[in-house]
Structure 1
Amino acid sequence: MPGVSSLRAWWAGRSPAAGSAVMATGIVSVGLHLAGAETVSRVALAMACLAWLALAADFVLRLVGERQRWVTEAESPGALTAVAATAVLGTRISALGRQTLAEALLALAALLWPVLIVLVMRHWKRRMSGSVFLCCVATQGLAVLAATLASAESTAWLAHTALVLFWLGLVLYGLALARFEPREVVKGAGDHWIAGGALAISALAGANLLGADSGRLYLWDEDDRGVLSTTTVTLLVLDLAGYLVLLAAEAARPRPGYDMRRWSTVFPMGMTAAAVLSVASTVDVGWLRVPGQVLVWVAVAAWLAAVTGALLAARAGARDDVHRPPDGDRRPATGDR
């Protein structure tokens, strides 16, 4: 069947960064949950889980049967989407009260993180695309999930581990920024938005760390809480400023057409919305809630655009596959030997 063979060909040739689609769908689900749209949020979560399972199965099959290809793909920055996507799903699942499953996802992400981050950072170079910031995103994803579980289960050591990961993530952001090619802002294919998404997930991690504190745990004293609050708000302000700059760059130099890397645009949009809503609640800045809700639906619109683009691209690929003649029937062009 041509359609099935085309789908298999697409799946076999997919980018290691395909996990960005799971990240985007997962964080849109988180944002919808925070905005109160629970039914739609759960639909998005179900889609993200199905996609994660498919990618996880493929990850294992390649590790077992195509070891060299697995290593090659693991060395690309996009491989870190496996950690980030797992952490985002765990965070949303924790909000459903399924703490055991969320803990399993945290353990899996924590096992993958040191292996992949070493492989990826070992191949860093100068003037990289926005995917270089995935080192920060993956690390802060672990911090977000660990802080979420610390709050849900009143576990102090998880909160302190999340705090270490939070500060480490900010250090990694600085290292990535030194290797980022600034011109990607006006010529990137979509993953340049991760520069802002990394700030957003850092702000979300800070908000979750603040939210994890309680009279029972007493995690942070007044000075610690003050530093954490100031850092979190600063990260959110920088993220929102970056969001506006990236939007302006898109308007000044439109880049129509679907590209897999556009999922890396949806993720920062959804993450910014989630960060705004979380900071509004944790730092008690009520007026931020309305902008946060607006940003959630902007992210949903971007997600729908990415889904439409992916379906149209798959359809076009299937049509080309149907009309492409077999190799044996191809007539040589003039001048062929």
Structure 2
Amino acid sequence: MSGGRVKQALSPRGRRGWTGLTPAAGAAVMAPGILSVGLHLAGRATPSLIAFALAAALWLVLALDFTARLVGDRGRFRAEAVTPAALTAVAATTVIGCRISLFGWNTAAAALLALAAALWPGLLLAVLRHWGRRLPGTAFLVCVATQGLAVLAAVLAAACDWYWLAWASLAAFCLGLLLYVQALRRFDLREVVRGAGDHWVAGGALAVSALAASRLTAEPVWTGGGHEVLRRTTLVTLALSLAWYVLLLAAEVRRWRPHYDGRRWATVFPLGMTATACLSAAGPTGVGALRPIGEVLLWIAVGAWLLTFAAFAAGRPAAGAGPTPRSGP
């Protein structure tokens, strides 16, 4: 399947065309990618490999399309680069890198970290320069992309004993939290009820922050007071992400939206990320109850992915889904 067809299929208007880089493009990689990590942590090797194969294949298609636009259509690339959704390129790359590291392929994971880190500053600055008010859930991708770098850096620091990278991870983690606060100030809270799927990133951004904090907590670099601060930060961010989870789920029940929308891939990723954060945090924080919670949430996320994929495969674009969500008012 060509990159153009993938983009067309994943857009909110289904086969009626692709009007820009929506959250569906990168989120369609991020969703199975984080499910693969979560399934690995839960000891489900075969489903984890299947999810990884799908995520890796989609990442390659989208990477080729990203490169083609960068080289062959600079005008379109610049126009898309100012939208928060463009940061899914960074986030998706870090998710793939984290899963690859679990295979022990740390050189490849480090290469993906370098690629994501090279893309991140330019895309982030472009997005921040064009921020407005009353933004959709994609605004939180400034946090997700930054925390993705923090997670992958922490994973590689532990795997390769690159302790200097742990400090870089800590810096990215702190910056990610600041960016979350800024995104929250601009988030249109009405999206909680009327959002088409990407509003779940509001909670998912805190979940990936909790995952980053849990990986930092596990690092031997910090002991004593530093370790305890990171431990408590992990629990606080995880608790807040779970609070978002409950709020957003209640909003879904209140206003049921069963039709397919490409932005629903941006719902699956936060569901999987919250589950993975719980599974990852159980050990470093010493709160064993987080593991069974994470396992339950993981299978909910798998079910959400299957439902979203079934709706996508059925080829029923949302009636009146509207245009691609904007990066500003």
> Same fold judged by TM-score > 0.5?
yes
Structure 1 distance, partners of 2:317, 2:234, is 43
Structure 1: any 5+ residue segments left out of the alignment? 214-218, 317-337
1:127 and 2:134 aligned: yes
1:223 and 2:225 aligned: yes
SS at match of 2:186: coil
Radius of gyration: which is bigger? 1
Structure 1 distance, partners of 2:286, 2:230, is 14
Q: Of the two structures, which has the highest relative contact order with CA contacts closer than 8 Å and spacing of 6 or more?
A: 2
Q: Tell me if structure 2 keeps the 8 A contact 1:190–1:265.
A: yes
Cα gap change, 1:184 to 1:93, in 2 (>3 Å): same
Give the total of aligned pairs: 309
Where do 1:96-245 residues align within 5 Å?
96-213=103-220, 219-245=221-247
Identity of matched residues, %: 56
1:281 equivalent in structure 2: 283
Cα gap change, 1:252 to 1:82, in 2 (>3 Å): same
Q: Which amino acid letter does the alignment assign opposite residue 146 of structure 2? A: T
Aligned counterpart for 1:33 among listed residues 35, 40, 55? 40
Structure 1 distance, partners of 2:7, 2:218, is 45
Give the alignment's Cα RMSD to 1 decimal.
Answer: 1.9
Structure 1 distance, partners of 2:266, 2:295, is 20
Structure 2 distance, partners of 1:101, 1:221, is 30
Per-residue deviation at 1:212?
Answer: 2.4
Structure 1 distance, partners of 2:235, 2:189, is 24
Aligned counterpart for 1:13 among listed residues 18, 24, 43? 18
Structure 1 distance, partners of 2:137, 2:27, is 13
Structure 2 distance, partners of 1:262, 1:76, is 18
Per-residue deviation at 1:183?
Answer: 0.6
> What is the TM-score normalised by the length of structure 2?
0.90
Structure 2 distance, partners of 1:117, 1:306, is 29
> What is the TM-score normalised by the length of structure 1?
0.88
Structure 2 distance, partners of 1:19, 1:313, is 20
Cα gap change, 1:64 to 1:236, in 2 (>3 Å): same
1:175-234: CA deviations, max 9, x gaps? 000000001000000000000000000000000111222xxxxx1131111111111100
Per-residue deviation at 1:281?
Answer: 1.6
Q: Tell me if structure 2 keeps the 8 A contact 1:184–1:192.
A: yes
Per-residue deviation at 1:14?
Answer: 6.2
Structure 2 distance, partners of 1:242, 1:121, is 24
Per-residue deviation at 1:8?
Answer: 7.4
2:63 equivalent in structure 1: 56
Per-residue deviation at 1:290?
Answer: 1.0
